[in-house]
Structure 1
């Protein structure tokens, strides 16, 4: 990381967040784990490497 997030412009911060999300996703898939996150409606889901998305309880 070249800059601390607190010193980034809004555009740089958005790009950093997208890049961080993609790196985390790739890492989890590489070790056989799903990416777990909340959808916009607040529903937790697990996304798998094969593209499957499952709702969690």
Structure 2
């Protein structure tokens, strides 16, 4: 019985590892338009920052 409980605990641990926060975020993004909009706006902002840094590097160097 103890062995079976240990096995179940280990299995639960594996499930916890596979359903990582990243996966939960992906699911949330897929199901929530508001979160999707926020994520896309963040991504666009991030890309803009990268472009600005790239321009600064090109003209600075």
TM-score range, shorter chain: 0.3 to 0.5
More helix per residue: 2
- TM-score for the superposition, normalised by structure 2: 0.43
Larger radius of gyration: 2
**Higher relative CO (CA 8 A, sep ≥ 6), structure 1 or 2?**
1
More strand per residue: 1
